[in-house]
Chain A
Amino acid sequence: MRRHHDMGGQDAGPVDPAEHNHAPWEKRVDAIMRLVGDEKRQLLRVDELRRGIEELGPGVYDELNYYERWISSITNILIEKGVISIDELGRRMEDVKARWEASP
């Protein structure tokens, strides 16, 4: 059975040639991935990143944009490996949001 991400040869519409410059937060996702996957750290391989993206499932895969899929996969795998915990992630996300709201 073909899985959702495995789209080679499927029907699809025309290729949209539009491009966007990467937003700073997208570059941060990329930088996190490069660092946790580098020679020094080796916490997360590219194959694992992809496995994490594939595990998001068909609905989420299509709803999220590219770097949203990446950070979701990276986060899930870092939790799975015990590098970060769900609790501390939740608290820190609340902190980040609160700082954002509080800033001028």
Chain B
Amino acid sequence: MGSEHGHDHEHDHGDWPYPHPKQPDLEDGPLTHHMAMTEAVAELLIDKGIFSADEFRRQLELMDSKSPAEGARMVARAWADPDFKAHMLEDVNAAAKEMDIDAGGIPIMAVENTPDVHNVIVCTLCSCYPRNLIGLPPDWYKSRAYRSRMVREPRAVLAEFGTVLPDDVEIRVHDSTADLRYLVIPRRPEGTEGMDEEALTALVTRDSLIGVTHLKTE
């Protein structure tokens, strides 16, 4: 994932549908009740000057620009630079700013994996997630199964992601809220000692930043 858009049309249709035909290329299938509600609410808010069509369009573009790449860059820097890691563990939002990354206004706490401790994040009540650093949450993060079970049987859930941890590794499950989110700093894979930050960044996956997987060099 990069800063490119997920599809070809968002630029032209941020202020859809004024006055605009339906877009079967954008929304296959019928217009649902909630799709109509979404368009109606957006139009009313634009009409009332709550936000402009241009602000709406820019917000859509901003969202498409968010990806796990920013969280990955921070983790790679933390691996390469102990001072930066200390800063990140103290204050993720400030550390992000140091790299010209906007982590948003809600505090994010970094939790570091070690040989003895594995961290994983969940939001049992809803879907809170460090979206400014890693994009929108995947479907499973918002699912009943993940939210219900991760806090009670994390080893079993992690195993479903292919992550099997020895019994002597402590698992810490962090339940996010609207006011505090978490970001996992995964363990640096072995055999990466000679890599520069860019190469390290490319190793870091979204799922490792959530804590459901480990990183491997290959």
Q: Which residues of A contact B (CB under 8 A)?
A: 5-25, 27-32, 34-36, 39, 41, 43, 45-47, 50, 53, 64, 66-68, 71-72, 74-75, 78, 83-84, 88-89, 92-93, 95-97, 99-100, 103-104
Contact = CB atoms under 8 A, between A and B. Distances in A.
Contacts of A25: 27, 34-35, 38-39
B55 A35 contact: yes
Contact of B145 (A5, A13, A103): A13
5 contacts: A13-B145, A21-B6, A24-B9, A25-B39, A84-B48
Give the interface centre of B13, B20, B33, B148 by most chain A CB atoms within 10 Å.
Answer: B148
**Nearest 9 A-B pairs (CB), nearest first?**
A8-B124, A103-B21, A92-B40, A12-B148, A31-B59, A10-B148, A46-B178, A12-B145, A68-B34
B143 to A, nearest CB: 6
Contact of A66 (B38, B51, B142): B142
A15 B143 contact: yes
A9 B148 contact: yes
Give the interface centre of A22, A53, A96 by most chain B CB atoms within 10 Å.
Answer: A96
B40 A72 contact: no
Interface residues of B, number: 63
A19 B38 CA distance: 22
A41 B31 CA distance: 29
B48 to A, nearest CB: 7
Interface in B8-28: 9-10, 13, 17, 19-22, 26-27
Contacts, number: 174
Contact of B21 (A16, A24, A29, A104): A104
B178 A96 contact: no
A16 to B, nearest CB: 6
Given A32-B42, A72-B34, A96-B43, A27 B51 contact: no
B190 interface: no
B31 to A, nearest CB: 5
Nearest to A103: B21
Contact of B124 (A7, A47, A72): A7
Contacts of B138: 19
B140 A15 contact: yes
B136 A32 contact: no
A95 B55 CA distance: 23
B36 to A, nearest CB: 5
Interface stretch (B84-92, B108-116, B149-157): B149-157
Contacts of B51: 35-36, 41
Contacts of B73: none
A34 B59 contact: yes
Nearest to B28: A23
Interface in B128-166: 128, 136, 138-140, 142-149, 151-152, 157, 160-161
B45 A32 contact: yes
